[in-house]
Amino acid sequence: MELEGKPVQHGFRMPAEWEHHSQCWMGWPERVDNWRDNALPAQQAYAEVAIAIAKFEPVTVCASASQWATARSLLPLHIRVVEMSMNDSWFRDTGPTFVVCDRGLTSTSGKSEHKVAGIDWNFNSWGGVDDGCYTDWSLDLLVARKILGIERLPRFLHSLILEGGSIHVDGEVDICASSSSLSCRPTISISATAKYCTTAYIVEKFRRVDNEFVLADSVGYGELVIAFRLHEHALIIDGRIPLGTCMTTGECLLNPNRNPSLTKEQIEDELKMYLGVKKVIWLPRGLFGDDDTNGHIDNMCCFARPGVVLLSWTNDESDPQYERSVEALSILSNTTDASGRKLEIFKLHIPAPMYMTVEESAGVAQIGDAKPRPPGTRLAASYVNFYIANGGIIAPAFGDEKWDNEAKIALSSAFPNHEVVMIKGAREICLGGGNVHCITQQQPVFPNNVGKHG
């Protein structure tokens, strides 16, 4: 089912990753021109991640027809394995961005439905034919649609080229009125001197009456109550004001190889309307060496809870990452989130610089159209690239005993109610261009259906 309009118009928002999940989705690596030694070491690493997550929540792994039996043999039976074609296995970027409606749409029968939906973004292999990681991504374009079809969830289709790893949200909302207290025809007082917002759907949904905006006659109870308090630029959705904050990087979303016809302001507007956030914080650059994705935020910085972020850091002033981390720290220290809070920033030190070895590079077949993996390439290794499960943190370990241990301690402190599990085989995922967060995609539970880990 495809929904018309934008998620915010239907009352949807992107939840924070620590909100309760119904399951986690993963792909299965197989392309030999990206994963060394016929992808066998990577498959072992993916299995390690899936098994770790399955301790806390259900996991579904998608594998191609030729790899289904292999995946099934490497995974315990409580992990579901389904057949699905893909160009590569980065489900953070090709899977749907799930959104939730805290009350649910109201159908003509008066029953609440569709509390979870998914955004199907456009995708161009992280840069298109000239700059991307491979030249054919036709199967990747279908992944989000297939997942939503399997789950029978509505889909919001968007032409914006965006990968899930390029955004992080805190999911914050403020309850300003109970759903039951909202009338079918609410009236929203607007200052006569308020700056008029020309967003198209407001023009369609509202008409001006003196100094007030009321729902147009064509809008019935079956459509969600949405109103703008224009003087505060605060969107009210079904009695809840999204106070959410999104973080991203200009290096990625403003890169000419993504959406060259859109301005920063236009991209920001789309993020607000599709993710249900009020503010977007832009970091200039992502992690040094994260060339495959053009600096995804999920290797650089993430939310631990509203008002609290974890930032990739190095104390080594000779490391090119140092300048990027200091730059990001300055921006984060001098901004506030959508609620006006100063951010609390925790530094998460990266491992010592890691590079692809001659042996590892030689194991990657030079037969396809994937981006070359030459020896000496610096790996984009970051402990920020972790997955939040229901009661668990699944984080990469890189064989750097000092910083692996420091990361586990830091993550345990940031998430005191979660068990931190370090993935020893994470280097194999890093060799392919990402890590734990990049290969996973959480599916939220229906709102108001939260279990013991909620």
Judged against a pLDDT cut of 70, whether residue 45 lies above it is answered with yes
C-alpha 29/C-alpha 38 separation (Å) is 9
Judged against a pLDDT cut of 60, whether residue 186 lies above it is answered with no
95-123 per-position pLDDT tens digit: 999 999 976 544 444 444 569 999 999 99
Specify the pLDDT at position 102.
79
C-alpha 251/C-alpha 166 separation (Å) is 10
Q: How confident is the model at residue 230 (pLDDT cuts 50, 70, 90)?
A: very low
Token pair 């490497």 in the structure block, residue: 74
DSSP E strand boundaries for 293-353 = 301-305, 308-313, 344-349
Phi first, then psi: give them for residue 35, nearest 5 degrees.
Answer: -110, 130
Judged against a pLDDT cut of 60, whether residue 215 lies above it is answered with no
Mean pLDDT taken over the chain? 86
Q: How confident is the model at residue 1 (pLDDT cuts 50, 70, 90)?
A: confident
Specify the pLDDT at position 194.
28
What 3-state DSSP class applies to 247?
strand
Specify the pLDDT at position 448.
63
Does the global pTM surpass 0.95?
Answer: no
Q: Give the whole-number percent of the chain exceeding pLDDT 70.
A: 81
Using alpha carbons, select from 442, 381, 393, 400 the residue that is nearest to residue 422: 393
Q: SS3 string of 95-139?
A: CCEEEEECCCEECCCCCEECCEEEEEEECCCCCHHHHCCCCCCCC
Contact 320, 290 (CB under 8 A): no
Contact 294, 286 (CB under 8 A): yes
DSSP state of 341: P
Contact 237, 179 (CB under 8 A): no
Token pair 């993935």 in the structure block, residue: 423
Using alpha carbons, select from 301, 242, 305, 223 the residue that is nearest to residue 3: 223
Other beta carbons within 10 angstroms of residue 158's beta carbon come to 17
Phi first, then psi: give them for residue 187, nearest 5 degrees.
Answer: -115, 130
Specify the pLDDT at position 234.
40
C-alpha 255/C-alpha 222 separation (Å) is 40
Supply 366's token pair.
């030079």
Specify the pLDDT at position 173.
83
Counted residue by residue, the chain has a size of: 454
C-alpha 118/C-alpha 154 separation (Å) is 6
Supply 38's token pair.
């016929």
Q: Give the residue with greater pLDDT, 449 vs 86.
A: 86
Count of alpha carbons within 13 angstroms of residue 354, beta-carbon side: 19
If you write DSSP's letter for every residue of 203-245 in order, what string do you get? HHHEEEETTEEEE-TT--TTS--EEEETTTTEEEETTEEE-EE
Q: How confident is the model at residue 175 (pLDDT cuts 50, 70, 90)?
A: low
138-150 per-position pLDDT tens digit: 999 999 999 999 9
User: For 52-70, what is the mean pLDDT?
Assistant: 99
384-406 per-position pLDDT tens digit: 999 999 999 999 999 999 999 99
Active site residues: 438
Judged against a pLDDT cut of 70, whether residue 449 lies above it is answered with no
Phi first, then psi: give them for residue 117, nearest 5 degrees.
Answer: -140, 180
Judged against a pLDDT cut of 60, whether residue 204 lies above it is answered with no
Contact 429, 438 (CB under 8 A): yes
Specify the pLDDT at position 291.
97
Q: How confident is the model at residue 450 (pLDDT cuts 50, 70, 90)?
A: low
Specify the pLDDT at position 447.
74
Count of alpha carbons within 13 angstroms of residue 84, beta-carbon side: 30
Contact 208, 230 (CB under 8 A): no
Judged against a pLDDT cut of 60, whether residue 185 lies above it is answered with no
Burial (CB < 10 A; 0-12, 13-18, 19+), residue 130, is exposed
Domains of the chain (ranges plus CATH)?
Answer: 7-172+243-444 (3.75.10.10), 179-237 (no CATH)
Specify the pLDDT at position 241.
60
> Is beta strand 301-305 parallel, antiparallel or unpaired with respect to 21-26?
unpaired
Judged against a pLDDT cut of 80, whether residue 164 lies above it is answered with yes
Judged against a pLDDT cut of 70, whether residue 441 lies above it is answered with yes
Phi first, then psi: give them for residue 120, nearest 5 degrees.
Answer: -105, 90
C-alpha 109/C-alpha 113 separation (Å) is 10
Cross-strand bridge partners of residue 90? none
237-258 per-position pLDDT tens digit: 444 566 899 999 999 999 999 9
Judged against a pLDDT cut of 50, whether residue 432 lies above it is answered with yes
Judged against a pLDDT cut of 90, whether residue 29 lies above it is answered with yes
Cross-strand bridge partners of residue 7? none
Using alpha carbons, select from 172, 171, 278 the residue that is nearest to residue 229: 278
Contact 83, 63 (CB under 8 A): yes
List Cα–Cα distances, 358 to 116, 367, 377, in angstroms: 46, 18, 10
